[in-house]
Amino acid sequence: MNVLKILIVLTSHSQLGDTGHKTGFWVEEFAAPYYALADAGVEVTIASPLGGQPPIDPKSEAPESQTDATRRFFGDKDLQQKLANTIPLSQVNAADYDAVFYPGGHGPLWDLTNDKNSIALIEQFYNNGKPVAAVCHAPAVLLHTKKANGEPLVKGLKVTGFSNTEEEAVQLTKVVPFLLEDELKKNGGAYSKGPDWGSYVLQDGLLITGQNPASSEEAAKLLLELLNKK
């Protein structure tokens, strides 16, 4: 049986708008999917726009943000070493992987959303029948992607992502470059959400999206199920 190969793409962006605060990727949204996939025997490769160490959102390192997966990550020197050496997106070939997974954090709103390498990569995966998964703020990476027919990738598809009410709750509505829920709707996505901070994951064909940090492990497990059916 062939080993499944999944690419995880993280942000390289560390500035939270012009607040002077730091952002990056949210640890739980990386750690929970990573372990769900790796523990199932998947070969996971990690990439980012700039390569090297992606910035971790400091708030995701706070005591109240810890989960079993994050505690495992902070004690896992091998994975931390792997994370410090992510591959630059420009060197990634979609043909080498079975699927791609994008964890969130606020960082992707600034870099991955408009990153030409990321956009091309997602289109290569999706238009060649390979699943694309994104959680929390990471569905923003879909906003400039197109289906083979030229339409927005999310048009007519069931999607979710960090909701306007969750953005209000963390008081960043005026800081972020756009509200993800609004933009997914503008692109023709059939957006829906579950309760704030609860796990809510949607699959529509090859696209899997999760609403928030709590949705990240479920999204990875759904991705595994989808790949194992193929």
Is residue 144 annotated as part of the catalytic site, yes or no?
Answer: no
For residue 208, report the phi and psi dihedrals to the nearest 5 degrees: -120, 130
* Catalytic residue (choose from 13, 137, 166, 183): 137
* Catalytic residue (choose from 28, 29, 166, 167): 167
If one compares 185 and 230, the residue with the highest pLDDT of the two is 185
Average pLDDT value over all residues in the chain: 96
Say if residue 1's pLDDT is above 60: no
Is residue 217 annotated as part of the catalytic site, yes or no?
Answer: no
Give residue-wise pLDDT tens across range 79-121. Answer: 999 999 999 999 999 999 999 999 999 999 999 999 999 999 9
HEC-encoded secondary structure of the chain: CCCCEEEEECCCCCECCCCCCECCECHHHHHHHHHHHHCCCCEEEEEECCCECCCECHHHHCHHHCCHHHHHHHCCHHHHHHHCCEEEHHHCCHHHCCEEEECCCCHHHHCHHHCHHHHHHHHHHHHCCCCEEEECCHHHHHCCCECCCCCECCCCCEECCCCHHHHHHCCCCCCCCCCHHHHHHHCCCEECCCCCCCCCEEEECCEEEECCHHHHHHHHHHHHHHHHHC
Is residue 225 annotated as part of the catalytic site, yes or no?
Answer: no
Give residue-wise pLDDT tens across range 155-211. Answer: 999 999 999 999 999 999 999 999 999 999 999 999 999 999 999 999 999 999 999
pTM of the model: 0.97
Give residue-wise pLDDT tens across range 10-20. Answer: 999 999 999 99
